[in-house]
Amino acid sequence: DDSIGATMATLSFDELASDYDAIVKPKEAFEQKYKKKLPVVFGPITDKNVEQVKTLNRSIFPVKYNDKFYTDVQKSAEHTQLAYYSTDILVGAICCRVEEGGKRLYIMTIGVLAPYRSCGIGTELLEQGLKQVEADSHIEEVYLHVQTSNVEAINFYKRFGFTIKDTIKNYYKRIDPPDCHVLVKPFPREAK
């Protein structure tokens, strides 16, 4: 029915992602099952679409990111990817920041709007990000923070070779539990 697709395309980001709590606070681990793999195209973050990314992140995550977050993302634009469905509907993003003189990449956020989850988009975003790291001979490690209770996310990253390196108590200020794991994936480079 064509009217269903047309209706979904006109919903706001807030309407599409109203159930983000299910991902932020999963009840238990479960095996990932795709609804249907959706075709997406990737694009960079720019001055023209940064407001869309802000709206996307407000819809997905339980925290509001400040302007410095978006400044950092734009400075590391080559490592930030936006996922578009039907070439113009922003449905997900991976936002990264290059640190330590270009030797580390911090995945600040990776998220997909609720109706588009379990369609392979998060996997494609992370794969795109890791391909960029492979091509960048300076980056030696990728890392990120995951809430300790988010077993689904931890298992997702482990599938890509990330391991838990550390646990930080009271990392998060406004979500429970407040603790996070630091997950890392090394990219050993040959000495020059």
The closest alpha carbon to 89, from 147, 25, 38, belongs to: 38
Q: How far apart are CA 64 and CA 81, in angstroms?
A: 20
Q: How far apart are CA 135 and CA 182, in angstroms?
A: 24
Collapse the DSSP code of 89 into the 3-class scheme (helix H, G, I; strand E, B; otherwise coil) and give the result: strand
DSSP code at position 8: H
Please give the structure tokens belonging to residue 82.
């936006």
Classify 118 in phi/psi space as left (phi over 0), alpha (psi -120 to 50) or beta.
left
Active centre residues (catalytic): 106, 145
Q: Do residues 152 and 23 make contact, with C-beta atoms less than 8 angstroms apart? A: yes
Parallel, antiparallel or unpaired: strands 141-147 and 104-112: parallel
